[in-house]
């Protein structure tokens, strides 16, 4: 992912019945939603090969490749090239993985009831870590003593007031 992209951990509440319609209007295309859903179905951290996307989704190669380029340019996907030997020839295979930012975007599409408890725990831990990192960086920028946040964390995690 482009390290220049600033990610702010916002929580967005979307009506579950209209979520796809809302997100489709944000992304401007059902194809983009379907690409992201396909990536989620393959696993958050797994590579998805361009060939598989083209084979599985009901859109033209041109449409899918244009959207994949856009998603990569926006920092949602990271693009990879692999050199593979096939019958005495070298073939380059293009694959994509969701970036950290892309995983946050993809989370908007997930239906909670389809996630295992283990997946929910991983998402919770990742969200917590990202949020803490963001708070720490903002505290440093604003010159706020980090001990204030440690105290607040201790109060909230134990449910006690010191």
> Does residue 49 contact residue 93 with C-beta atoms inside 8 Å?
yes
Residue 159 — pLDDT band, cuts 50, 70, 90? confident
The CATH class of the 14-110 domain is mainly alpha
pLDDT of residue 1 exceeding 50: no
Alpha helices in 28-116 (DSSP H): 30-42, 50-56, 61-73, 100-107
pLDDT score at 11: 56
Residues 13-24, mean pLDDT to the nearest whole number? 70
pLDDT score at 3: 47
Query: CA-CA distances (angstroms) from residue 81 to 32, 63, 95, 145, 147?
Result: 21, 20, 6, 44, 45
């Amino acid at each position: 992912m482009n390290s220049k992209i600033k990610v702010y951990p916002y929580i967005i509440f979307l009506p579950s019945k209209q979520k796809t319609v809302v997100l489709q209007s944000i992304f401007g295309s059902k194809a983009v939603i379907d690409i992201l859903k396909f990536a989620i179905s393959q696993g958050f951290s797994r590579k998805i090969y361009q060939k598989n996307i083209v084979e599985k989704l009901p859109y033209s190669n041109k449409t899918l490749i244009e959207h994949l380029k856009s998603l990569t340019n926006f920092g949602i996907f990271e693009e990879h090239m692999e050199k593979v030997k096939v019958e005495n020839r070298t073939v380059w295979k293009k694959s994509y993985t969701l970036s950290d930012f892309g995983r946050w975007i993809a989370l908007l599409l997930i239906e909670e009831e389809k996630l295992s408890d283990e997946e929910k725990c991983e998402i919770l831990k990742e969200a917590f870590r990202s949020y803490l990192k963001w708070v720490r960086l903002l505290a440093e920028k604003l010159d706020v003593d980090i001990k204030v946040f440690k105290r607040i964390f201790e109060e909230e995690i134990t449910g006690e007031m010191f």
